[in-house]
Amino acid sequence: MSGTDPHNIHSDDAWAEPAPTAVLVLADGTVLEGIGLGATGHAVGEVCFNTAMTGYQEILTDPSYAGQIITFTFPHIGNVGTNEEDIETISMAGASGVRGVVLHSGITDPSNYRATRHFDQWLKARGIIGIAGIDTRALTALIRDKGMPNAVIAHAEDGVFDLPALKAEAAEWPGLVGMDLVPMVTSAQRFTWDETPWQWGKGYGTQTAPAHHVVAIDYGIKRNILRLLARAGCRVTVVPATTSAEEILALQPDGVFLSNGPGDPAATGEYAVPVIREIIDRGVPTFGICLGHQMIGLAVGGRTMKMHQGHHGANHPVKDQTTGKVEITSMNHGFAVDRDSLPANATETHVSLFDGSNAGIALADRPVFSVQYHPEASPGPQDSHYLFDRFVEMIARHKDKAA
């Protein structure tokens, strides 16, 4: 066990290594010891790794990570503190569903003018368990070789753990395949959104003259998605994941947006796919990202599959087949659409240049398209913001034809 005290407390003995106060117990019985931070207790989930160098607060509040324990490959996490603006869940106080966080280095005191709270205190307030002092390179290599393991993360201030019980819990957890996690992150009721993206010196703005009405189905939607829809000229109505097609169409949307979200798309698709099929059949312009992309793939007759290590980071190259351009994207998914299962009317528009997996589709006979990655970024590059304009242009063309 290596690492430093995440609370930045130094021992009188410069050579003394702090006693472990946290463990990460993998399903195969491997026990990794470290220093606990954040909430105390224990939680079970799937361990993934994220390669982003910035945006840890946005990542840990992204509902797509529900059911997962995030290992950051970048060593300096927490050094700019946290604030009340960089939160991606819909509710400021609501949990994103992330089960835990694994770090290499301890947390230093925050050094950023926007910081309002120490990262450790922020984790405590949100009930997220953390462990520092882990060889994250070795853990990442393990995930690349063997896939994303199930595990239990535990933090106890006295350093006392019932390891046999934790090993049994990790081994018995069924994993994300077949698990519908959307109900734990979707909004409870319908609401409207008009906030636009943050600007230097101004903060967040407001859309006061929307040209289009978009209904966004919330499978675990991120705030910056809604902000970019608003910036693109949309009045957005957000509806819970189980909203019926009849209710959505009654709102008379100019377009429908299908959000990101966690869990197995096939499980969520049992109630989401019939709704999406009805919307597509009505000819409503539709745009999906992440889980929304997978939902469209299922709705047109395709299949989804579990990935070996998933894609999690803000540096993933994707080629837009329609333009020939390469964009650097933010990704967070452990399932993918099987391109070989797609029907003839579904064109593959985007491809991951890391592993060649499907990253986007469009329908030839309907105003429908989707991408596997996160064009809203937050965190991540802004190369893909154009997709929100592409969606609005599709809506405008559809309205002109109907006029």
Q: How far apart are CA 255 and CA 278, in angstroms?
A: 13
Residues 161 and 243 both lie in one domain: no
Q: Specify if 33 maps to a domain.
A: yes
How many structural domains are present in the chain?
A: 2
Q: Dig out the tokens for 392 from the structure.
A: 């609005």
Average pLDDT for residues 158-169, to the nearest whole number?
98
Provide CB contacts within 8 A for 331, sequence distance 6+. 311, 312, 313, 314, 316, 372, 373, 374
Residue 380 pLDDT level (bands cut at 50, 70, 90): confident
Distances (CA, A) of 304 to 268, 274, 331: 12, 16, 17
Q: How far apart are CA 291 and CA 293, in angstroms?
A: 5
Specify the DSSP class assigned to residue 173: -
Tell me if residue 293 is catalytic. Answer: no
Q: Let me know: does 379 contact 305? Beta carbons within 8 Å.
A: no
Specify the DSSP class assigned to residue 143: H
Q: Specify if 9 maps to a domain.
A: no
What CATH code is carried by the domain that includes residue 268? 3.40.50.880
By C-alpha distance, which of 274, 283, 276, 288 is closest to 358? Answer: 288
Average pLDDT for residues 98-108, to the nearest whole number?
96
Provide CB contacts within 8 A for 258, sequence distance 6+. 216, 217, 219, 276, 286, 287, 288, 289, 291, 292, 293, 295, 296, 370
Sign of CA dihedral 172, 173, 174, 175: negative
Residues 269 and 132 both lie in one domain: no
Q: Is the pLDDT of residue 11 over 90?
A: no
Q: Specify if 232 maps to a domain.
A: yes
Q: How far apart are CA 397 and CA 270, in angstroms?
A: 32
* Other Cβ atoms closer than 10 A to 93: 8
Residues 327 and 387 both lie in one domain: yes
Residues 164 and 215 both lie in one domain: no
Q: Dig out the tokens for 374 from the structure.
A: 């996160």
By C-alpha distance, which of 219, 206, 204, 209 is closest to 256? Answer: 219
Q: How far apart are CA 308 and CA 312, in angstroms?
A: 12
What CATH code is carried by the domain that includes residue 155? 3.50.30.20
Considering 125, 144, 172, which residue would you say is the last residue of a domain? 172
Considering 172, 206, 237, which residue would you say is the last residue of a domain? 172
Residues 90 and 215 both lie in one domain: no
Residue 7 pLDDT level (bands cut at 50, 70, 90): very low
Average pLDDT for residues 91-115, to the nearest whole number?
87
Q: Specify if 2 maps to a domain.
A: no
Q: Is the pLDDT of residue 302 over 50?
A: yes
The per-residue DSSP string of 62-77 comes to -GGGTTEEEEESSS--
Can you give the pLDDT at residue 9?
30
Can you give the pLDDT at residue 196?
97
Residue 264 structural domain: 182-402
Catalytic residue among 290, 293, 311, 312: 290
Residues 28 and 163 both lie in one domain: yes
Q: Dig out the tokens for 56 from the structure.
A: 């840890």
Q: Specify if 52 maps to a domain.
A: yes
pTM, two decimals, is 0.94
Can you give the pLDDT at residue 91?
67
**Which residue intervals of 192-264 are DSSP H helices?**
223-231, 245-250
Residue 95 pLDDT level (bands cut at 50, 70, 90): low
Residues 242 and 351 both lie in one domain: yes
Q: Is the pLDDT of residue 160 over 60?
A: yes
Q: How far apart are CA 53 and CA 59, in angstroms?
A: 11
List pLDDT tens digits, range 112-155. Answer: 999 999 999 999 999 999 999 999 999 999 999 999 999 999 99
Catalytic residue among 155, 311, 350, 374: 374
Residues 122 and 219 both lie in one domain: no
Kindly give the pairing relationship between strand 346-352 and strand 234-240: unpaired
Kindly give the pairing relationship between strand 68-72 and strand 41-50: parallel
Q: Let me know: does 330 contact 313? Beta carbons within 8 Å.
A: yes
Average pLDDT for residues 375-390, to the nearest whole number?
94
Can you give the pLDDT at residue 94?
55
Can you give the pLDDT at residue 403?
81
Q: Specify if 235 maps to a domain.
A: yes
Q: Is the pLDDT of residue 236 over 50?
A: yes
Tell me if residue 376 is catalytic. Answer: yes
**48 or 7, which is more confident:** 48
Residues 188 and 216 both lie in one domain: yes
Can you give the pLDDT at residue 33?
98
Residue 4 pLDDT level (bands cut at 50, 70, 90): very low
Residues 146 and 209 both lie in one domain: no
Tell me if residue 48 is catalytic. Answer: no
Mean confidence (pLDDT) of the chain? 94
Can you give the pLDDT at residue 96?
78
- Return the H-helix or E-strand segment holding 121: helix 119-126
Residues 320 and 231 both lie in one domain: yes
Residue 5 pLDDT level (bands cut at 50, 70, 90): very low
Rg (CA), the chain: 21
* Other Cβ atoms closer than 10 A to 357: 18
Average pLDDT for residues 331-345, to the nearest whole number?
97
List pLDDT tens digits, range 211-234. Answer: 999 999 999 999 999 999 999 999
Q: How far apart are CA 154 and CA 162, in angstroms?
A: 10
Considering 119, 145, 172, which residue would you say is the last residue of a domain? 172
Can you give the pLDDT at residue 18?
84
Sign of CA dihedral 296, 186, 328, 310: negative
